[in-house]
Chain A
Amino acid sequence: NAGVTQTPKFQVLKTGQSMTLQCAQDMNHEYMSWYRQDPGMGLRLIHYSVGAGITDQGEVPNGYNVSRSTTEDFPLRLLSAAPSQTSVYFCASSLSRTASSYNSPLHFGNGTRLTVT
């Protein structure tokens, strides 16, 4: 198993450009989510999905869209990039949709480092 795979690893955008950050998992995980990590802020939840066709907003959803057409993929779309979206983005998945089992912790990918100029 590859685990959680994120692409690209690095990206530079100009203000106003759009792009999609890709996330795929091959563990048949039900739950997937996106976090952003900023210095001094820890990780903050952007959007999450508890299964194919179901998405919901997290703590900081503005400026981002998601969709979950398959169990494996959970892309994050930046509609019109802004410098405030410069961050490291992490995708994470879990076997269970709830934090109810010791056997289904949240697994993270290695991140996409995005710079918006």
Chain B
Amino acid sequence: GESVGLHLPTLSVQEGDNSIINCAYSNSASDYFIWYKQESGKGPQFIIDIRSNMDKRQGQRVTVLLNKTVKHLSLQIAATQPGDSAVYFCAENLGQSGAGSYQLTFGKGTKLSVIP
């Protein structure tokens, strides 16, 4: 079946640098994408989302870019801080059933380590 995946399983960045976490998706019908951050022992925490009618969306220190042509999603974190160290998941919404409900498919995650 189709799935969401990540290019890099681990990423180490220097504190203060920008981080870019990439994600590939394979379902061209997906119309909604989300990035989550998960710290050890905790549940996924919502970071930012984007619908397929946009190619860029910005939040506080984070930007999500969507390239539908190559089915690629990325999360950019500006001025990375030690508190950003976590596992980051992308997810696509495959809720194309009659109910149109949330049915997220998650990637396997990228571990971001920030070097002080």
A42 touches B (CB below 8 Å): yes
Is A56 a contact partner of B99 (Cβ separation < 8 A)? yes
B43 at the interface (CB under 8 A from A): yes
Stretch at the interface among A11-19, A66-74, A108-116: A108-116
- Asked if residues A108 and B44 are in contact (CB atoms below 8 Å), the reply is yes
Interface residues on A, range: 20 to 34
Count B-side interface residues using an 8 Å CB cutoff. Answer: 28
CB of A52 closer than 8 Å to a CB of B: no
Cα distance, A91 to B49, chains bound together (Å):
19
- For the complex of A and B, 5 pairs with smallest distance between CB atoms: A108-B43, A42-B106, A99-B32, A99-B93, A43-B106
Binding site for A on B (CB under 8 A): 4, 31-32, 34, 36, 41-46, 49, 51, 89, 91, 93, 95, 99-109
Besides the known contacts A56-B99, A90-B44, A99-B104, 16 further A-B residue pairs in the complex with CB atoms under 8 A apart: A41-B108, A42-B106, A44-B106, A50-B101, A56-B101, A92-B44, A94-B102, A98-B99, A99-B31, A99-B32, A99-B95, A102-B51, A105-B34, A105-B49, A110-B43, A111-B43
